Amino acid sequence: MNAGRLILVPNSLDFGVSADGDLQDVLPLGALRTAARLTHWVVESAKTTRSFLKRVDAIVPLAQPLQTLSIVELPRPPKGTRHAAAPDLRPLLQAALDGHDVGLISEAGLPAIADPGAALVQAAHGLGIAVLPLSGPSSLLMALGASGLNGQSFAFVGYLPVDAGERGQRIRDLEALSKRAGQTQLMIETPYRNEALLGALLANLRGDTWLSVSSGLTLSTGWTHTARVSAWKKAPRAVANDVPAVFSLLAA
């Protein structure tokens, strides 16, 4: 039997915010059709994946009832084990080795982009399983495009330190790197810490550095605002803590 494929299925960007919109406004119909026929899934959260598939089913009927699908969650590393050995993800791909296409879906956006699913993709390559990415929204690239900052050279740096001192130093280091390389630096924050990150950026960046914030991309209330730090300070703009946001900086 020929091996199946690992299919990277895009998700909407409204996870935890307004998960009742029309998926066709965000995801291509081809991606929805592929998702509807898959019977094996590896996911971050079984609960949110079932919610996603219910929305898919309203547009393209699922190939079989939701309760009969195989939905397996990616293992989460235990807290406090930063340097622990990575778990063996190969058993999660057994269905693909048995000839079934397996869907990989993230909590929001594109799988394996700023997402732990990248480890499963790597495992698939190690087993000779073909990987097929489907088109869908990436909040990082949408924010970069909307920012007007350098899209020729950029880096996603993930989350900044929680400790105020370490976070401030990290911001200054990223600003210095941005100036040396002319490179846009993108970052995100965990829920309910958007305002804290914005405050830290304004407190530690130079006045002539460009700062862009994209909030609630693809939502009807979404927005992007780009200005120099000095202008942000003169005309403060609130960032909702309960809506996903992407922060970008480019040193002058």
Could you read off the pLDDT of 84-94 as tens digits, one per residue? 667 899 999 99
The three-state secondary structure class of 223 is strand
The one-character DSSP state at 77 is P
Q: What are phi and psi of 198, to 5 degrees?
A: -60, -45
Q: Report yes or no on 1 lying in a domain.
A: no
The CATH number of residue 193's host domain is: 3.30.950.10
Range of the domain at 115: 6-133
Q: In this predicted structure, what is the pLDDT of residue 2?
A: 81
**Segments in 59-209 forming alpha helices (H):** 94-97, 118-126, 139-147, 164-181, 194-204
Amino acid identity of 153? S
CA distance 30 to 136: 10
Q: In this predicted structure, what is the pLDDT of residue 76?
A: 77
Looking at the fold, whether 129 and 145 belong to one and the same domain comes out as no
Q: In this predicted structure, what is the pLDDT of residue 178?
A: 98
Looking at the fold, whether 122 and 16 belong to one and the same domain comes out as yes
Looking at the fold, whether 81 and 99 belong to one and the same domain comes out as yes
Instruction: Name the token pair of 15.
Output: 């996870």
Looking at the fold, whether 102 and 180 belong to one and the same domain comes out as no
Q: What are phi and psi of 2, to 5 degrees?
A: -70, 145
pTM here is 0.90
Q: What is the pLDDT of residues 149-204, one digit of tens each?
A: 999 999 999 999 999 999 999 999 999 999 999 999 999 998 799 999 999 999 99
Task: Assign 83 a pLDDT band (cuts: 50, 70, 90).
Answer: low
Mean pLDDT of the chain: 93
Q: What is the pLDDT of residues 22-80, one digit of tens each?
A: 899 999 999 999 999 999 999 999 999 999 999 999 999 999 999 999 999 999 766 55
- Any long-range contacts for 64-72 (C-beta under 8 Å, 24+ apart)? 64/39, 68/39, 69/38, 69/39, 69/40, 69/41, 70/39, 70/40, 70/41, 70/95, 71/41, 71/43, 71/46, 72/41, 72/42, 72/43, 72/46
Residues 252/178, Cβ–Cβ less than 8 Å? no
Q: Report yes or no on 58 lying in a domain.
A: yes
